[in-house]
Amino acid sequence: MVKKQAGPPIAGIPAAVLSNQVRAPETFTDGLPLPKMIVFDLDYTLWPFWVDTHVTPPLKAKDNGTKSTDRWGESFAFYPDVPSILLAAKALPQGPLLLGTASRTQAPDLAHTLLKQLHLPPLPVAHSVANDASSSTSSLTVNGAASPTKSPTKSTFSSGSSSAPTPFTSPKRALDVFDYMQIFPGDKKRHFEKIQKQSGVAYEEMLFFDDESRNRNVEQLGVTMWLVRDGVTRSEVDNGVRDWRRRKGLEV
């Protein structure tokens, strides 16, 4: 399952605003290099459950997409820091990071449905960005309708568009911030082989967050993996980015 980048733009967010209002990881705004792509596992990495054993379909979005409930009324949502991390990754002043998923769940369709139902909140700086959008020289792109109030058919962020930037002023499906998605049972090396073939990004430019040590075998390909102990947090992202830098000799 893959989504490729394409489309029109939203304005990049200044580093100070990303840190203070969007609450981005420190490494996103410290001026040092970042990997070209960050890839996340799903279960116990982006959300605190196994989607193939804890969730019983059908799912229904609740509370403006901040959570979903299943057949028995159980609620499912991201770990608390995840929405701001995903938003920040796509609103960097220097341009958006590529994002991917690599999950070996036995219920890929259910995981996909959950990613469609869970939404990321609007950027808290949307109004100030909207006021400055016409004069902004740094922008990101979002593939969707010209009006920010309409739901895009595909909502992937990318760079390189010359059209006028627009702010991210309405909730966005979590699904739409991921550029490359591989969700199927099996060895995670297969997931990364597919992601690399589709994206063209070198393995050494990928950072992977996962909660299972067995998936460190992706490092045989050149990927940097950071093991998370209790879900993705801003500090875990910072630790992973710093480890990636150390391995490339970029940490100062």
pLDDT tens for 92-118 read 888 899 999 999 999 999 999 999 999
In this prediction, residue 122 carries a pLDDT of 82
Q: In whole angstroms, what is the distance from residue 19 CA to residue 13 CA? A: 10
Cis peptide bond N-terminal to 58, omega within 30: yes
In this prediction, residue 20 carries a pLDDT of 55
State pLDDT tens for residues 137-163: 322 222 223 323 333 333 333 333 333
- Residue 24 near residue 238, CB atoms below 8 Å: no
What b-and-e string marks burial along 61-74, b requiring 16 or more CB atoms within 10 Å of the CB?
A: beeebbbbbbeeee
- The model carries a pTM of 0.79
Secondary structure letter of residue 99 according to DSSP: E
In this prediction, residue 134 carries a pLDDT of 39
Q: Catalytic: 41?
A: yes
Q: In whole angstroms, what is the distance from residue 194 CA to residue 41 CA? A: 15
Element (H, E) at 61: strand 60-62
Choosing from 30, 41, 81, 132, which is the catalytic residue? Answer: 41
In this prediction, residue 125 carries a pLDDT of 56
CA-closest candidate to residue 142, choices 162, 120, 117, 165:
165
Choosing from 43, 176, 179, 210, which is the catalytic residue? Answer: 43
Residue 166 contacts by C-beta under 8 Å, 6 or more apart in sequence?
Answer: 8, 9, 10, 11, 130, 133, 142, 146, 148
Q: Catalytic: 43?
A: yes
- In the predicted model, residues of the chain with pLDDT beneath 50 are 2-11, 126-167
In this prediction, residue 94 carries a pLDDT of 86
